[in-house]
A and B are shown apart, each in its own frame.
Chain A
Amino acid sequence: MSDRDREFSAFVAAQMEPLRGLAYLTCGDWQAAEDAVLIALAKLYVKWRRIDNPGAYARTAVVRAAIDETRRPWWRRERAQSNAMPDRPDLRDDTNAVDDRLRIRDALQKIPARLRAVLTLRYLEGLSIQETAEALGCPEGTVKSYTSRGLEALRTAMGAEVFVSRENYRAARAV
C-alpha cells in the first residue's frame, strides 16, 4: 500500500461515520447518504495530494453530493428509496425517545435540503458562515438567509421552540 493509500485509509476510517451522518441529515435517506459519501471520497482520493484540508474538501463534496441525491429524478431515486434500510426500532427505549427522534426527522424532512445542509454545517459541524458558504459554493448572505429561514421552518414543522445553545455551538466548533 502506498503512502497515499495509507493516509487516505486512515482519514476515511476516522471520518466515514461523521460524513455519513452529515450526508444523511442533508438528503434524508441512509442509502443515498452512503452513496454520496462514497462518491465524495472517490473524488477526494484522486485529489489527495493537491488538497491542503481534506476534511473541509470531503465535507463540501459530501454535502453537494447529498443535495444532488435529492435532485435526482424520481425514477432514479425510487430504487434507492425502496431499498433503503428501515430505521431500526430502539428496543431499549421505554420513554418517548423514539417518538422524539421520528418527530425530529419528520420535521427535518419538511424543509428543503439546502436549508438542512446549512443548519447541519453550522450547528452540527460548527462551521462559520464563511466556511459554510465555501462548502456550499454560495454567498455568505445566502447562508445567513438560509439559517434564518431554516430555523423558522424547523420551528414551524416541530410546532415547538427550537433554540441554539451557545455552549453546544462552541463545543461543535472546537471538535
Chain B
Amino acid sequence: MPHELSDMLQEAKSDAPPPRYSVQDALTAGRKRQQRRRALWAGTGSAAVVLAVAGAVAVPQLLPEGNNRSATVNAGAAATNTEKSAKAPFAYPSTGFSGTFAEYTVGDLTVDGTVLVTPGYQVASITAPGKGQAYEDKNGGRYYAPNVIGHVVTYAKGVFDPAKAQKDPKAGAGWFHEGEKKEAIKPGVPAPYADSTYTWEYADDAWAQVIVQGRLKYPATKLASIAEGLTGAAEKPVKVGIKLGYVPAGFALGSAGTTSDHLESTFAGTSFLRLIKGDFPYENLTGTVGDPFVVQDTQLPILSLQVYPAKEQKYNAPGNEPYCPQEGLCYRYTADKKFFVELNGGGFIGNTEMIKMLNSVEFADLTDESTWFPATEAVS
C-alpha cells in the first residue's frame, strides 16, 4: 500500500508518551546554563578563543583535451560594447578543468574570476561591498561570508538551450528575466525571490548568463553591463587544496572549484571536488546543474569532497584520523585542525571505502594557493 511521506512522519510521532519536561523545566535549564556561562566568563576573564580558519579553492575544468567546445567572443554579439579596446577578449577554455575568467569591476560590483568549472560551463562569482550571510560559531561569535550576489556563467559551445531565455523581454544584446517574488515560506517570514537572469550569446552558438539574487532588484541595464564587461584571462588549470591518492573504481572528476555545484558563498581556503561515475551529458542546459545528476531517470553515482575552514568545530571529535559520524558522511581534519574535508558518499559507497579515500587525502597548505594541486592531478 502506498504511503504519503508527511503522513508517515506524522503517524510515527503520534501516540507520544506524556512529556517529562514542562515549560518551567526549560526555563530553569536556560537560567542554569546562563549562570554557568557567566561564571565561566568571570573565571577566565575572556571569551574562549574561536577557532577560525580560512581556506580557498581553485577551480578546474572537466573538458577533455582537444574538445571542440572552445568558443571565442563573437564580435557581433559584443557589438553593443563600445569601450572594450582595453579589455582582453574572452575565450572559452580549450582544455578541460581550466578557467578563463578575468577579474573585472562594474561600478561597485566585482566579478571575481573562475570559482567552478564543469565539462559544460565555467562560473565566476559577483561580489558586492558589505557583508554576506552571517554565521555563528559555537561560542556565539559572528562571522560573515563574502557578499556574493550572483554569478556569471559561460557555457561551452552547444551546451546551452536559449529557447526558454528568449521568451523573456529583449534587453540590449540579451534577454532579461526579472526574478519574481515567490510564496512566503511561513507567515511573518519575507518571501524569497527567484533569480534574475540576463542571457546572451557571447560567441557563435555559445551562451552566457549573469545570474543575481532577484530580491536585490538589479535592473536589466546593470546585468547587461556585467555581461558587456566580460573579460578573458590566460587559460589556467583550476586548483584545489587536496589531492586524492585513492579513487573508487569508475569515478572520475566531474567538477571542481572554490565553491560547490550549488554555488554557495564560501570562505577563503574552501575547495570542492565532485566525482561522477558515468557520463553526464552537458546539453540543452537552461542553467547550471546542482543535483541530481539524472540520466534517463537514473541518478548517476556521485561523491563530493569539500574543504571547509573549521570555524564552528561543529562536528564531533576532530582527531587525527578520518571518522564517519553517520553512514555516508565522513570527515578528516588537517593536522592543525584549522580545516577539515567533508566526504559525502550519498549512499553510493560504504564508509570503509570513504575512510580509505580520506586516508589517501594529501592536503596542500590551504592558506597558500600556490601550493594547491591542479584538479586534474588531484583526481587521478
Contact = CB atoms under 8 A, between A and B. Distances in A.
Interface extent on B, as a size class?
Answer: 35 or more
Contact of B27 (A45, A141, A168): A45
Given A9-B27, A34-B19, A161 B3 contact: yes
B5 A5 contact: no
Interface stretch (B215-223, B239-247, B325-333): B325-333
Interface in B1-27: 1-17, 19-21, 23, 25-27
B8 A104 contact: yes
A19 to B, nearest CB: 10
A143 to B, nearest CB: 9
A167 B185 CA distance: 14
Contact of B15 (A90, A148, A164): A90
B19 A16 contact: yes
B326 A120 contact: no
A131 B185 contact: yes
B324 to A, nearest CB: 10
A12 B26 contact: yes
Nearest to B302: A145
Contacts of B299: 148
B13 A25 contact: yes
A8 B26 CA distance: 9
Counting chain A CB atoms within 10 Å of each CB, the highest count among B9, B23, B27 belongs to B9
Contacts of B327: 112
A119 B31 CA distance: 33
Given A160-B1, A163-B3, A38 B26 contact: yes
Interface string A27-47: 000110010011101111111
B162 to A, nearest CB: 26
A141 B328 contact: no
B39 to A, nearest CB: 13
A153 B189 CA distance: 33
Contact of A163 (B4, B37, B325, B344): B4
Contact of B34 (A45, A139, A165): A45
A112 B326 contact: yes
B66 interface: no
B262 A141 contact: yes
Nearest to A24: B13
A175 to B, nearest CB: 7
A15 to B, nearest CB: 10
B32 A141 contact: no
B261 interface: yes
Contact of A88 (B17, B344, B347): B17
A16 B29 contact: no
B186 A30 contact: no
A88 B264 CA distance: 45
B350 interface: no
Contacts of A138: 329, 342
B31 A162 contact: no
Contact of A141 (B1, B30, B261): B261
Contacts of A38: 21, 25-26, 29
B26 A41 contact: yes
A42 B29 contact: yes
B290 A173 contact: no
Contacts of A146: 328, 346
Given A25-B13, A38-B26, A124-B9, A141 B291 contact: yes
A30 B17 contact: yes
A105 interface: yes
B100 interface: no
A77 interface: no
B359 to A, nearest CB: 21
B6 A164 contact: yes
Contacts of A42: 26, 29-30, 32-33
Given A47-B140, A164-B4, A41 B30 contact: yes
B374 to A, nearest CB: 23
A87 B185 contact: no
Nearest to A131: B185
Given A149-B347, A162-B3, A144 B11 contact: no
3 closest cross-chain pairs (CB), A and B: A45-B30, A21-B13, A42-B29
Interface of B: 1-17, 19-21, 23, 25-27, 29-34, 37, 140, 185-186, 189, 192, 260-262, 264, 290-292, 299, 302, 304, 306, 312, 314, 316, 325-329, 342, 344, 346-347
Given A24-B16, A174-B186, 13 more contacts: A9-B26, A12-B23, A16-B23, A30-B16, A34-B21, A38-B25, A114-B329, A115-B326, A123-B9, A137-B312, A141-B290, A160-B1, A162-B3
21 contacts: A8-B26, A8-B30, A9-B23, A12-B23, A12-B26, A16-B23, A16-B26, A30-B17, A34-B20, A37-B26, A47-B140, A64-B314, A67-B325, A71-B325, A100-B11, A104-B12, A128-B185, A141-B262, A153-B347, A163-B5, A173-B186
